[in-house]
Amino acid sequence: MKPRVIAAVSVAALLLAAAPALSQGQLPRPGQLPPAGGQGGPPPQRGPAAPPQQPAAAAPKPYKVVAITAPAAVADPSFEAFRKQLNTVAEKKDRKALADMVSKSFFWMGEKGDKADKKKPGIENFAKAISLDAKDGSGWEMVMGFASDPTAAAYPEKKDTLCAPAEPTFDDKEFEALIKATGTEDGDWGFLTQPNVEMRAAAQPNSPVVEKLGMHFVRVMEDNSPPSGDTPMIRIVAPSGKVGFIPADAVSPLGSDSVCYAKEGGAWKIAGFIGGEQQ
């Protein structure tokens, strides 16, 4: 299980913009957010700087369905109990209790390897990785997001280690062909997290249903309109080529940050993290 490199304007970033109240466990690492500025020639000698040029998005069109199989929950009652305890700790923002749940040999895997400072306690590295001390409380919300996810998959780089959330299973070659056929990037796609999702004509939960969608990838389109209502909606292209809106919490990006768990002395611990801030 390794982090995916996704496009600059990603599903994860669009979910951040459309639904800031979504579970933080579904949100992207900072490196997946749109870059601040762009590449180009030198700034003009006079007047304001020209805005960075963004490549035009491919026009919506029908595409082949690439089915996904949702990841299964971890079949271990002790893991479920650990997640409930972790959620309670996060709700109380109990840093001392959280420290007891983090492994002393905590790892933090980024694109260039393990970034954890082995001279510091595991909690210090974990706190830095997820911005636990952010004033807006988003770090603790992120912990709750991870704690709410019952899925996890084996991490080949570390023996007896599980990382969550687990990604769905799908045909990589079909997905690559889908990207090529639509002239898009892998970061333009998300997978539906539930069956029978209703795509609506407008970004309102009572808007007419255009069609129903199954467990497969959907293309997410950038939408400049401000989010409204208690049920944030996100603009997508269905396999039929039709454009509509679905609840933002019904779609998830590939390549989200992952928290890893392992048993130490028979008890679950937060063993590591994949992603987080770039250095």
pLDDT along the chain (279 residues), means of 10: 42 55 38 31 42 70 96 94 98 98 96 92 97 95 94 93 94 96 93 94 94 96 69 93 94 87 97 77
Token pair recorded at residue 164: 């969550």
Residues 260, 272 contacting (CB under 8 angstroms): yes
pLDDT of amino acid 111: 82
pLDDT of amino acid 11: 60
Angle, CA 42 vertex, CA 40 and CA 44 arms, to 5°:
115
pLDDT of amino acid 119: 96
- With b for 16 or more beta-carbon neighbours within 10 A and e for fewer, the 116-133 pattern comes to beeeeebbbbbbbbbbbe
pLDDT of amino acid 26: 41
Residues 237, 60 contacting (CB under 8 angstroms): yes
Amino acid of residue 157: E
Token pair recorded at residue 215: 């467990």
Say how far apart CA 233 and CA 227 lie, in whole Å: 7
pLDDT of amino acid 190: 93
Say how far apart CA 155 and CA 264 lie, in whole Å: 16
CA-wise closest residue to 99 among 126, 137, 117:
126
pLDDT of amino acid 252: 87
pLDDT of amino acid 225: 64
Residue-wise pLDDT for 102-139, tens only, equals 999 999 998 889 999 999 999 999 999 999 999 999 99
Residues 256, 1 contacting (CB under 8 angstroms): no
CA atoms within 13 A on the CB side of 8: 9
pLDDT of amino acid 55: 64
Residues 55, 187 contacting (CB under 8 angstroms): no
Say how far apart CA 97 and CA 99 lie, in whole Å: 5
Helix or strand or coil: residue 54? coil
Residue 159: left (phi > 0), alpha (psi -120 to 50), or beta?
A: beta
